[in-house]
Each structure stands twice: as structure tokens, then as C-alpha cells.
Amino acid sequence: MNISQINNINFGAKYITNAPVQKFNYIKAKFEPYNASFVQIEPSNRTDYSAIKEIVKNWEYGMFTREIFKTIQKLRDGELPDSLVKVYAVTKQRNNFEKLRDDDILAIGEITKKSDKDIELEYLQVNPDLIYDYEQKKFKHTGSAFLNILKGLNGIRSIVLNSVYSATEFYEQNGFKLIDSSKLKYYWKSKDKM
């Protein structure tokens, strides 16, 4: 899968591609395919900035949202190069990306470009309500969709990340291999781009 980053949206979050997740259908009492959207956050856009600021407040158990928001602040202030650091989100929104809504964000992640074809996933945070909610979850496979899209971005050859203990099984299920057990460092390499 090779995902083009060409789109026609100039303001606000940039639409990249569909993000296939599963949404619970309460009438049928089962999960069904749902096309969420994978977007690149524009830190200089006031709406994007505000949406991420709100999820920091609302995702009470989101351990990485605060760190991602700090990065967005540094990108906005020019303290980090936007050519190397990117923030992406999976959102329920299917249009109107110039007005990103915090209530629709399902997952958010930060990457750092290490070379033309290699990236490091600094943080990936799925909405904690989709992880820890004891009632019927409304969406699932959001984190996996995020990773699969990263793997398919133009020319990506490899992804490296440091996991938390509670996420190691998730990364292994998504094709990542443990390369340093002391740091819980994981690696994924494309079979197509070796």
C-alpha cells in the first residue's frame, strides 16, 4: 500500500487517506467496517491547535497526549522543524477538516523522520475511552489503522518505537519485532522496500 499525501485542503488538518476501523452497530449488536479519516495536524492552524488542547483535557488517562501537545506548541513556535516532526490523527470526521473537532478524534500520534524512508513513532495515543471503557466500546482497531497507514505512507521503509509494557502485545500483533528488551524498543521493516 502506497498512500499519496496529495490533497486539496489548504487550511486546517490535511486529509491523507481513509482509516479503516470498526464501529459498533447497536441495532445489529456487532462491529462493522467504518472509514474514519487519517489527517495530518497543522500546528499553526488555530482550530487544530484548539482540538488537540481539548483532548489533553478530556482524555484523562491519555498518557501521551500532553507530550504530543508540547510538540505541537514547539512546531507552532518554530522550535522544531516541521519537515522532520509530524503529528497525525485518526478522526471520525469525513470532511470539513479545516474545523477539526476534538470530540471526533479517535487517536493521535507523533512521528520523527530519521531519514527519507525511516521514521520513529514517538507517541501513539488512542482515545482512552476506546481502551478503558468498561461499557461497549464504540470503535476498535483504531491504533492498528494508525500503524497500517504509517506503514503505507510514501516510501516508508522502517518504523522504530519505544513501547510501554502494556502496549507490547499490541505492537507485536501489528508486525513489530522487539529489538531491545531493556528499553522495550520495537522495529518494523517493510518487506517491499528492503
Nearest in space to 188 (alpha carbons), one of 153, 143, 157: 157
Angle formed by the axes of helices 65-76 and 46-58, to 10°? 160
First to last CA, the chain: 15
> So what's the pLDDT on residue 130?
86
All domains of the chain in start order, with CATH: 14-189 (3.40.630.30)
Pairing of strands 118-126, 158-162: parallel
d(CA 86, CA 159): 14
Query: Does position 4 have pLDDT exceeding 70, yes or no?
Result: no
Which residues does 77 contact at the CB level (< 8 Å), separation at least 6? none
The answer to whether the CB of 62 falls within 8 A of the CB of 55 is: yes
Quick one: average pLDDT of 165-172?
95
Quick one: average pLDDT of 71-99?
95
pLDDT tens digit sequence for 116-148:
899 999 999 999 988 876 667 899 999 999 999
User: Poorest-confidence range of 40-44, 57-61, 84-88, 118-122?
Assistant: 57-61
pTM comes to 0.90
Between the alpha carbon of residue 152 and those of residues 9, 95, 115, the distances in Å are 21, 22, 16
Query: Does position 79 have pLDDT exceeding 90, yes or no?
Result: yes
pLDDT tens digit sequence for 86-107:
999 999 999 999 899 999 999 9
Query: Does position 17 have pLDDT exceeding 80, yes or no?
Result: yes
Mean pLDDT rounded to a whole number for the chain: 90
pLDDT class for 60, splitting at 50, 70, 90? Answer: confident
Q: What is the percent of the chain with per-residue pLDDT over 90, rounded to a whole number?
A: 80
> So what's the pLDDT on residue 167?
94
> So what's the pLDDT on residue 61?
81
> So what's the pLDDT on residue 13?
84
